[in-house]
Amino acid sequence: MSVSIRLTRVGSKKKPAYRVVVLDSRKKRDSDYIERIGHYNPCVNPAEIVIDTDKLNEWIKKGAQCSDTVASLVKKAGKAAK
């Protein structure tokens, strides 16, 4: 099974929020996920990015692939934390 770490959309119309989830890469965007490891809210200023790095690293060690968007969010969250 190929596992990916990507965003799934939640929130109402014109007010998106996203969850950072681990799921089978063959599933659709908003389908059931294996584990939720964070969230991203672009509607607040500054954007709220919360990702559990321990769980993220654990899944990457197991072979999960991050999407490009999640990789950039992790980079932004890391820069904001320093």
Q: What is the CATH number of the domain that holds 66?
A: 3.30.1320.10
- At 1 the pLDDT is 65
pLDDT by position in tens, the chain (length 82): 689 999 999 999 999 999 999 998 888 877 888 999 999 999 999 999 999 989 999 999 999 999 999 999 999 887 443 2
- How many distinct structural domains can be found in the chain? 1
Provide the domain limits for residue 72: 3-81
Q: How many CB atoms lie within 10 A of CB 33?
A: 17
- At 82 the pLDDT is 28
Q: How far is CA 60 from CA 12, 21, 46, 68, 79, in A?
A: 31, 13, 27, 14, 20
